[in-house]
Amino acid sequence: MRPYTITGSILLFTIVGLTGCTSIPGESGAEQVETIDALVERTLVDLYKQEPKTKDQIANSVGYVIASTTITKVPIVGVGSGYGVAIYTKTGEKTYLKMARFDVGGGWGARSLRPVLIFQDDTKFRKFIDGVWEAQAGAEAAAKVGESGAAGGGGTSGVGDKGYAVHFITDAGVSATATAGIIRVKPIKLKE
């Protein structure tokens, strides 16, 4: 094997090992619900503080998704995983989610993000929570500001004709990336 191939393989396995498969913390279903409820409450407080207009967007939405994700990226490749919940606005019905992400592109860093997706289109919301592979491309820059911060360079997007808006709350880490990636979202059941 060539030296650069070995180095690339080692980096990839290191990233996968560091990121792993994130599951919802908690020894029981009740503890996992507490973890998700705390995530939702903390994220909404931070989101409404940073972007007050989102309170009305969520109140008038079909549903919204709040997640906790970690992303590790070295030049060329990056991986991430996380968990979250999709909430139907009118009924409060919850669908718990597991997420995996793979990126290819320039940049490096490690960070935790709390993405918030606000859906105005019911069909897109249902497709998302039923498990969607989504290809995406773009540039991101994120930096911690105090205890949390907003991601820039595509960190917030308006609803427009997409039928949803995306907002990111950063928890830790600094990174800059230009990537093309795939996100896998899968509904899961909590522990018994």
| pLDDT at residue 134 in the model | 56
Distance CA 15, CA 13 (A): 5
Sign of the dihedral defined by the CA atoms of residues 90, 82, 167, 28, in that order? positive
Owner of token pair 């070995």 = 6
Average pLDDT for residues 163-176, to the nearest whole number? 70
Q: Hey, what's the torsion of the CAs at 151, 45, 116, 32, to 10 degrees?
A: 120
Give the model's confidence band at 150: pLDDT under 50 very low, under 70 low, under 90 confident, else very high.
very low
User: pTM of the full predicted structure?
Assistant: 0.73
pLDDT over 60 (residue 107): yes
- The pLDDT value recorded for residue 84 is 93
**CA–CA separation, 40 and 116 (whole Å):** 10
Residue appearing with tokens 């109140």: 59
pLDDT for 112-149, tens place per residue? 888 899 999 999 999 888 876 554 544 444 443 334 44
| Residues ≥6 apart with Cβ < 8 Å to 123 | 163
- E strand or H helix at 37, and its extent? helix 29-50
Separation CA 21–CA 19 (nearest Å)? 7
What is the band of 177 on the pLDDT scale with cuts at 50, 70, 90? Answer: very low
Q: What is the pLDDT of residues 37-92, one digit of tens each?
A: 999 999 999 999 989 999 999 999 999 999 998 877 777 777 888 999 999 999 99
Q: Which of 16-25, 52-61, 99-108, 179-188 has the lowest mean pLDDT?
A: 16-25
Could you give the 3-state DSSP secondary structure of residue 60?
Answer: coil
The answer to whether residue 153 scores a pLDDT higher than 50 is no
Cα 81 to Cα 19, 28, 64, 78, 134: the distances in Å are: 7, 21, 19, 11, 14
> Exposed/middle/buried for 2, CB within 10 Å: 0-12, 13-18, 19+?
exposed
The predicted structure's pLDDT at residue 161: 57
- Only one residue has tokens 């999709």, namely 86
Query: Which tens digits make up the pLDDT trace of 95-106?
Result: 999 988 777 766
Confirm if 168 and 113 have CB atoms less than 8 A apart. Answer: yes
In this predicted structure, the answer to whether residue 36 has a pLDDT above a threshold of 50 is yes
